[in-house]
Structure 1
Amino acid sequence: MEIVMPELAVVAVTAVLVVIVALLIAAGAGKLARLDGATYPAAVMRAAASFAAVLTIAAAVTAALTPFLS
């Protein structure tokens, strides 16, 4: 018996997983910044930068793999 997922469901699950990973990395970066002695605004800025970086890398990988997957 084969389980078939619609393409929209695969895209939605993948997007949710990418956002969860980005949030975890951002939280880790913020925590490490605070442990390093950064102020709260500076730690939030570092967390936001790492969140944006993860989403940018995910978008770049998606754009690079699109020709091969379609």
Structure 2
Amino acid sequence: MAANKQQKVYLIPEGETRDSHTYHYTVVKTKKFIQENEKLRIKKFNPAKRKHEWFVEAKLPPHSKN
């Protein structure tokens, strides 16, 4: 069976916590970043603050069990 080549990650503004952040993005992490074990750090627009900021990778929030 082939290894997973992509995985979803949660991006939040740098310097904010996962519990209290103003905005987030969900992106797909490619095989290159998974193999090199690098954390994503991307400059994107934060509509809450109306400016571009660095967004860093964080753990996905836990799933709710209904």
TM bucket, shorter chain: under 0.3
User: What TM-score do you get using the length of structure 1 for normalisation?
Assistant: 0.25
Which one has a larger percent helix, Structure 1 or Structure 2? Answer: 1
Greater Rg over alpha carbons, structure: 1
Which one has a larger percent strand, Structure 1 or Structure 2? Answer: 2
Q: Which has the higher contact order (CA 8 A, sep 6+)?
A: 2
